[in-house]
Amino acid sequence: MMNLAQLRAQLERSFPPLACECSVDGDHSLTVKLYHKESGAVDLVISGLKLDELRTPESVQALVDELRYELESNSLRSSAESGF
């Protein structure tokens, strides 16, 4: 079973060159923010993740995969909206 420190470490090393910030909310849910270190521009924020569902390496990898998909979708939308 994965603890919060291990979960944060796994998420934070999964998205270079983006920085990853994890915080636990009052209802014991997790918020993950992925952003550019230099500019501070935020690429993705996901909140309301249930910590109880993120206790195994497999569930954390599934979250990483989902966040990567969301990042890719956001960048595709941004490119389409800017005409590229």
Closest by Cα among 25, 76, 71 to 50: 25
71 or 8, greater pLDDT: 71
66 or 77, greater pLDDT: 66
Element (H, E) at 7: helix 4-12
Residue 9 binned pLDDT confidence (cut-offs 50, 70, 90): confident
pLDDT digit string (tens) for 30-73? 999 999 989 999 999 999 999 889 888 899 999 999 999 999 88
Q: Is the peptide bond before 16 cis (omega within 30 degrees of 0)?
A: no
Q: Are 32 and 48 in contact (CB under 8 A)?
A: no
Residue 81 binned pLDDT confidence (cut-offs 50, 70, 90): low
